[in-house]
A and B are shown apart, each in its own frame.
Chain A
Amino acid sequence: MPSTRPRRVALFVTCLVDLFRPSVGFAAVKLLEEAGCTVEVPSVQTCCGQPAYNTGDRATTRAIAAQVIDAFEGYDAVVAPSGSCGGMLSHHYPGLFDDDPALKARAENLASRSHELISFLVDVLGVRNVSARYDGSVTYHDSCSGLRELGVKAQPRNLLGSVQGLELREMKTPEVCCGFGGTFCVKYPEISNAMVGEKSADIAATGADTLLAGDLGCLMNMAGKLQREGSAVRVRHVAEVLADMGDLPAIGEPERG
Chain B
Amino acid sequence: MESTAHAFKANVDHALADPNLQDSLAKLKVGFSERRRQAAERLPEFEALRDRARDIKNHTLAHLDFYLEEFERKVIALGGHVHWAPTAADARRIIAELCQSVNARTVAKSKSMVAEEIALNDHLEALGIAPIETDLGEYIIQLRHEPPSHIIAPAVHLTKDQVADTFLEHHAKLGFDKRLTERNDLVAEARHVLRQKFLDADVGLTGANFLVAETGSSMLVTNEGNADLSNTLPRMHIVLASIEKVIPTLEDAAVLLRVLARSATGQESSAYTTLNTGPKRPGDLDGPDQYHVVLLDNGRSSVLGTEMQDILRCIRCGACMNHCPVYGAVGGHAYGWVYPGPMGAVLTPQLVGVEEASNLPNASTFCGRCESVCPVRIPLPKLMRHWREREFEKHLTPKAVRQGLALWSFAARRPALYRRLTGIANRVLALFGRADGRYGALPLASGWTRFRDFPAPQAGGTFHARWAKRKA
- A residues within 8 Å of B by Cβ? 13, 15, 17-23, 25-26, 41, 43-47, 49, 51-58, 60, 63-64, 67, 144-145, 148-149, 175-177, 179-196, 198, 220-221, 223-225, 227-228, 248-249, 251-255
Q: Contacts A18-B462, A220-B455, A227-B453 known; A57 to B365 CB distance under 8 Å?
A: no
> Using Cβ atoms and an 8 Å threshold, which residues of chain B touch A57?
389, 392, 405, 409
Whether B457 sits at the interface, judged by CB under 8 Å, is yes
Beta-carbon contact of B458 and A190 below 8 Å: no
> Using Cβ atoms and an 8 Å threshold, which residues of chain B touch A225?
451-452
Q: Contacts A18-B464, A25-B467, A225-B451 known; A188 to B405 CB distance under 8 Å?
A: no
Whether B78 sits at the interface, judged by CB under 8 Å, is no
From A54, A182, A254, give the contact of B434 (CB < 8 A). A254
- B residues within 8 Å of A by Cβ? 9, 12-13, 16, 325-326, 329-330, 362-369, 371-372, 385, 387-393, 397, 401, 405, 408-409, 411-413, 415, 418, 422, 425-426, 434-438, 440, 445, 447-448, 450-464, 466-468
Beta-carbon contact of B453 and A252 below 8 Å: yes
For residue A65, give the distance in angstroms from its CB to the closest CB of chain B. 11
For residue B368, give the distance in angstroms from its CB to the closest CB of chain A. 4
Query: 8 tightest A-B contacts by CB?
Result: A181-B365, A224-B452, A56-B388, A186-B447, A56-B392, A177-B367, A22-B463, A254-B437
Beta-carbon contact of B447 and A185 below 8 Å: yes
From A182, A190, A251, give the contact of B12 (CB < 8 A). A190
> Using Cβ atoms and an 8 Å threshold, which residues of chain B touch A53?
385
> Using Cβ atoms and an 8 Å threshold, which residues of chain B touch A67?
413, 415
Beta-carbon contact of A255 and B415 below 8 Å: no
Beta-carbon contact of A252 and B437 below 8 Å: yes
* Count of chain A to chain B residue pairs whose CB atoms are closer than 8 Å in the complex: 205
From A144, A180, A248, give the contact of B368 (CB < 8 A). A144
Q: Contacts A43-B415, A253-B437 known; A148 to B367 CB distance under 8 Å?
A: yes
For residue A93, give the distance in angstroms from its CB to the closest CB of chain B. 14
Beta-carbon contact of B12 and A144 below 8 Å: no
For residue A154, give the distance in angstroms from its CB to the closest CB of chain B. 17
Chain B interface, DSSP helix/strand/loop, else mixed: helix
Beta-carbon contact of B363 and A144 below 8 Å: no
Beta-carbon contact of B452 and A41 below 8 Å: no
From B330, B409, B450, give the contact of A52 (CB < 8 A). B409
In angstroms, Cα B309 to Cα A180, docked, is 29
- A60-B412, A64-B412 given; 9 more Cβ-contact pairs under 8 Å: A15-B412, A51-B409, A58-B392, A176-B367, A187-B363, A195-B326, A196-B451, A221-B452, A255-B437
Beta-carbon contact of A180 and B365 below 8 Å: yes
For residue B17, give the distance in angstroms from its CB to the closest CB of chain A. 10
In angstroms, Cα B388 to Cα A60, docked, is 14
Beta-carbon contact of A149 and B368 below 8 Å: yes
> Using Cβ atoms and an 8 Å threshold, which residues of chain A touch B389?
56-58
Q: Contacts A46-B418, A187-B447 known; A223 to B455 CB distance under 8 Å?
A: yes
For residue B15, give the distance in angstroms from its CB to the closest CB of chain A. 9
Beta-carbon contact of A191 and B453 below 8 Å: no
From A187, A196, A252, give the contact of B401 (CB < 8 A). A187
From A21, A188, A192, A195, give the contact of B458 (CB < 8 A). A21
Beta-carbon contact of A55 and B401 below 8 Å: yes
From A63, A191, A192, A220, give the contact of B413 (CB < 8 A). A63
Beta-carbon contact of A252 and B455 below 8 Å: yes
Beta-carbon contact of A22 and B411 below 8 Å: no
For residue B432, give the distance in angstroms from its CB to the closest CB of chain A. 12
Beta-carbon contact of B464 and A41 below 8 Å: yes
Beta-carbon contact of A224 and B460 below 8 Å: no
In angstroms, Cα B34 to Cα A175, docked, is 13
For residue B326, give the distance in angstroms from its CB to the closest CB of chain A. 6
